Amino acid sequence: MESFDAGNSKDGQIVVEEHNLVRILVLNRPKHLNALSPYMGNGRAFCAGGDVSAVVPDIKKDWRSGANFFRTQYGLDYVIATYKKIQVSFLDGIVMGGGAGVSIHGRFRIVTENTVFAMPEAAIGISPDVGASYFLSRLPGFFGEYVGLTGARLVGAEMLACGLA
């Protein structure tokens, strides 16, 4: 495996494996539940979303760093959503917030008995982002409204039942 330089990443936060014509990217911050940082699923989480502890101190110094973080996050979500090649997300573990953005927009999503999905920002009164208004609005019945308004956690089987996997 070789490390992939993701922006300012110099410590292997994303690991790239190449097997013939297939490239596998693994988020590699297991101690932080693979939270997305301004510099970057290894371990027990696919991705717990944005790394608030890494972003907030920068935002307190200069709001532009927060704007840049979210611009990069949303840009990545857009690239994944519009990517022409097949993209498969293996969601083994925690998939929350920004982790949903970098996985749900792909063409194929595989869940396991360890998968836990949520948009936790809803539980503190913040509207879910990362394209959640798009993918949640397409769920059957009131599933999307329920998840988007309550921050409820779904396990892999529930994600499969409502069409998120």
Which of 12, 50, 99, 151 is an active site residue?
50
CATH 3.90.226.10 applies to domain 30-162: yes
| pTM of the model as a whole | 0.73
Mean pLDDT of the chain: 81
CB contact set of 32 (below 8 Å; sequence gap of 6+): 48, 51
**pLDDT tens digit sequence for 44-73:** 655 666 666 777 787 888 888 888 878 888
Is 12 annotated as catalytic? no
The mean pLDDT of 136-152, rounded to a whole number, is 93
Which of 77, 92, 121, 158 is an active site residue?
121
User: What is the spatial distance between Cα 30 and Cα 44, in angstroms, rounded to a whole number?
Assistant: 7
pLDDT of residue 72: 81
Which of 51, 92, 129, 158 is an active site residue?
129
With 90 as the cut, is the pLDDT of residue 157 above it?
Answer: yes
User: What is the spatial distance between Cα 103 and Cα 119, in angstroms, rounded to a whole number?
Assistant: 13
117 strand-pairing partners: 95, 154
Element spanning 133, H or E? helix 132-136
